[in-house]
Amino acid sequence: MRKKMSEAAARKVTASDVAKRAGVSKWTVSRAFTEGASISPEAQERVLQVAAELGYRPNLLARSLTKKRTGIVGLVVDELENPNLFPILNEVTNQLQRKGYMSMLLNITSEHSDGSTLSLADQFQVDGLIFLGTLLNDELVQLAQDIRHIPLIVLYRNCDYPNIQVVATDGYRAGRDIAGLFIEQRFRRIGYMLGPFSQSTQLKRLEGFRDGLKEQGLEVEVILEARHYQRDCGFQALARYLDLTAPDARIEALFCENDILAIGALDALRARSDAIRMGVVGFDDIELAASPCYDLTTYRQPLELLVPEAIRRLTAEGEPAPKFLAPGQLVRRSSHLRR
C-alpha cells in the first residue's frame, strides 16, 4: 500500500486514480467537486476522502474549458511605475479572487508590443479584459476587439470607443470641484499639469476644470506636460516652467492630473530659493499624499464602487449601460492654501 501511494505521489494524481481507488466512475469524481451536481452524500464523502489521501486537486482550467469559460481575466496596464496603480491592482485582484476569477497581468510597454501581449490573452481564452487606466489607441482597441466576444472594460478612464465599457470617477465633476477650491482661495493665475495624453481616453478632469474657472471669468493660463506618471516627470515639468518664467509672472495654483505628479511639483518648489508658495492639488489620494511632508489636497477615487461594478460587468446579462461614472471625494489638506 505504501509503495502504491509513493508511486502516486511521484506523478500528478488524476481523477482516474481517485475513481479507481474509491470504486466509482471518473464522472462521479467530477460531480463530487462540482457545486450543486447530482451525487449522493455517501459517494461524495468517499471521493473527497480518497482525494485527500492521494493529494488530488481538480484541474480547474480543463473543467472551465468544457464550460467555455476559463475564469481568467486579463488586467491591462501601461504605467506600472505609477504608484497609484498598486492599490488599484491589489483591490481588483482581491475582488476577482473572491468571485472565483484568476488575474492575468498584461503589461503594455514599448518593449512588449500590444499584439504579442494580447495574443497571449487570446491563447489563454480570457473571459474579459479590464484596462486599468490604460492609454488606449486605435490599434490596441482593434486588437482587443479581435480576440473574441468578451467584455472590454476601461477602469478609471473615459473612452468613446464602441463596445468598450467605462467604469470611472466622474472626472468632469472632479475638475469643477477643484476649480471651485481655487476660486475659494482667490487664485487668479492658474495652471494644469497633464500626464501622458491619449485622445481616446481623456480623463475629462481638464474639461471640468476649465469650465468651472470660466464661469468665474478665469482660465487655465498654463498647461504643463509630463511624459509619464512619475514623480521625476512632475518635478522636471514644473522646474522647467520655473526656470523660464519670472517669479512675478508665475501661476499661483496648479492642479496636477494625479498625486505623484503633484508630489513631484511640490518637490520642485522646495528645491528653489526663489519659488513663492503655489497652491497644488493632486488626484487619487495615494498613501504618500497624507504624509506631513506633503499634506496634499487631492481628490479620492471611489474604489469601493468602481471595482465591484467593473467585475459585475464581466458576467452581466443583456447590454449594460456603456458608462458608469461615480462621484469622488475632495480631500482637503493644506497644499492648496494661499499663503
Q: Are residues 312 and 164 in the same domain?
A: yes
- Spatial separation of the C-alpha atoms in residues 192 and 199, rounded to whole Å: 17
- 181 inside domain: yes
For the chain, first and last CA: distance in Å?
82
Q: Are residues 53 and 82 in the same domain?
A: no
Q: Give the mean pLDDT of 223-239.
A: 95
CATH at residue 27: 1.10.260.40
C-beta neighbour count of 127 within 10 angstroms: 19
> Cα angle vertex 156, ends 203, 165, to 5°?
95
**What are the phi and psi torsion angles at 194 (to 5°)?**
-95, 140
CATH at residue 140: 3.40.50.2300
- Give the pLDDT band of residue 56 (cuts 50, 70, 90): confident
Q: Are residues 269 and 158 in the same domain?
A: no
Q: Are residues 93 and 242 in the same domain?
A: no
Q: pLDDT value at position 111? A: 57
Q: Are residues 108 and 181 in the same domain?
A: no
For the chain, the farthest-separated pair of C-alpha atoms sits apart, in whole angstroms, at 89
- 238 inside domain: yes
Q: Are residues 226 and 116 in the same domain?
A: no
Q: Are residues 45 and 91 in the same domain?
A: no
Q: Give the mean pLDDT of 27-46.
A: 85
Over the stretch 302-311, which tens digit does the pLDDT of each residue have?
999 999 999 9
Residue 228 sits in which domain range?
171-301
pLDDT at residue 20 greater than cutoff 50? yes
User: In the chain, how many domains are there?
Assistant: 3
Q: Are residues 124 and 90 in the same domain?
A: yes
pTM for this predicted structure:
0.80
Q: pLDDT value at position 120? A: 81
